Chains A and B, each alone.
Chain A
């Protein structure tokens, strides 16, 4: 699913190039928006989940 652009009541959080506004996390992509009252909204979309692997090792396993 493509991320929608900003509307009258919401704006992209940063970046002018739409591609720069997207962030990747594992098999997910997300995009941040700022709502009219200043709160953050994040939309996530997913694809190729079966190809996803660990993207961050995280804290050491005990």
Chain B
């Protein structure tokens, strides 16, 4: 069981999950715990010979009942795929899995905020290469979604709706759009290639999306993931986070579904580190203008087609 403490200087929670120190770390391919179980081979987390999408409770959870949840979502039984290379139908199916888990975990009394995310690449601390994401059910409202609610108040309405409107009006930082979603590098992006994929219509969560919107969301996310890989002609590390409305507490149901990508690369070989100004002053110093990186990323997305 994890221990929650409060950092009073920063007014933020810190979770100590010391059992995670022992979790599986970059195993050889033949020992991947997320692959299907081969006949005669060692049993993996999924003790069957094939599967489409699998979800299971994390063996090394940061949160667990009766104080939250931690799950692993395995996108495919093919070890060498990635979110971007999944068949479009599989990516669309994944949106339904996310929706179902958001609904089920969000209904729990010990979960106030459901966060679906993917860490991709050793640069962001991935310990297993098999394509997968995770879901945390926080027993409290974490600082970032709390700040988004404050932004709603500051902008006198839905902040993502307002910011999407500004980006569409400006146009220079948009990298992809379809009938359901718009992807752009924000005006004040913290990371060189940070991108937000935002539902055109105001939808608090995946639960408010119809089948077409889920399909278009999947298409937008995949276009971006493939464009990232094309950008520097290499697997592009990122943290991908689905932002949705809290499911409990006074803010339940308030939010605007969007997906944010935080890639640490600023060039093909150079990583952005969180150093003095970022950690000590909370002020990102970026050496790339969002308009310039957006032009490059949009071109990469166009090349992938």
Contacts and interface: CB of A to CB of B under 8 A. Distances in A.
Nearest to B46: A41
10 contacts: A39-B59, A41-B46, A42-B55, A44-B52, A44-B55, A44-B100, A46-B90, A46-B93, A59-B208, A61-B202
B89 interface: yes
Interface string A33-59: 001010111111110010011101111
Given A39-B59, A46-B93, A49-B89, A56 B203 contact: no
A30 B93 contact: no
B211 A44 contact: no
B52 A59 contact: no
Contact of A28 (B96, B207, B252): B96
A44 B59 contact: no
A43 B51 contact: yes
B55 A1 contact: no
B16 interface: no
Contact of A27 (B96, B103, B203): B96
Contact of B52 (A1, A40, A53, A57): A1
Given A54-B210, A56-B103, A61-B208, A49 B97 contact: no
Given A26-B99, A59-B204, A59-B245, A43 B211 contact: no
Contact of A46 (B96, B201, B205): B96
Interface size bracket, A side: 20 to 34
A54 B210 CA distance: 5
Contacts of A37: 59
B93 A40 contact: no
Given A40-B57, A59-B253, A61-B203, A1 B50 contact: yes
B72 to A, nearest CB: 10
Given A7-B47, A43-B48, A26 B96 contact: yes
B56 interface: yes
Contacts of A35: 45, 47, 56
A45 B158 CA distance: 35
Interface string B243-282: 0010000001110000000000000000000000000000
A10 B54 CA distance: 14
A4 B215 CA distance: 28
B162 interface: no
B52 A42 contact: no
Nearest to B49: A4
Given A28-B100, A43-B48, A53 B211 contact: yes
